[in-house]
Structure 1
Amino acid sequence: MQNTASKSPAAKPVTPARPSFFGDIIAELKKVNWPTRDEIRKLTVMVLVVSFGVGAVLGALDYGLSFLVDHFLLK
């Protein structure tokens, strides 16, 4: 015995819309909060300053440790 009450002749299987991969990328890129030119400039300067600062500290530490090794351990 079949259950005919759950089947209706007008009902069609619903297939989900297949989104486009590139269309999704474009939609997501439109949602991005892009930085302004002034923000980019400030952040770039900050990265350069921090990079040079860390490089100077590491260079000074390397020079100091090399000096100590050369004068006290390799005498």
Structure 2
Amino acid sequence: MADGVKGIGKFFRDVVQEMKRVSWPTRKELTRYTLVVLGTVLFITVFFAIVDFGISTLVRELLG
């Protein structure tokens, strides 16, 4: 059991060490990335809404 506890401790020390190596984005970069993601989600939402509307209209016309 002591080996398991030591293993967990080593794991968390390694996590802290790796987090220090991470290259974190600046506030400006983070804002830009967030806007890109939101813009992409908005574009895809509108695209699929239009496609859905078109397909539902086509099916409605075919079924009469």
Which structure has the larger Rg?
1
Alignment TM-score, normalising by the size of structure 1: 0.70
Runs of 5+ unmatched residues, structure 1: 1-17
Select which of 49, 53, 60 maps to 1:59: 49
Give the count of matched residue pairs: 57
Corresponding position: 1:39 with 2:35 = no
Residues 17-28 of structure 1: matches in 2 within 5 Å? Answer: 20-28=10-18
Counterpart amino acid of 2:16? I
Mapped to 1, the partners of 2:40 and 2:15 lie a distance apart of 33
How far is 1:62 from its partner?
A: 0.4
Uncovered stretches (5+) of structure 2, i.e. residues with no partner = 1-6
RMSD across aligned positions (CA): 1.5
- Higher helix fraction (1 or 2): 2
2:55 corresponds to which letter in structure 1? L
1:53, 1:20 → 2: CA distance? 45
Identity %: 37
Q: Look up the match of 1:5.
A: none
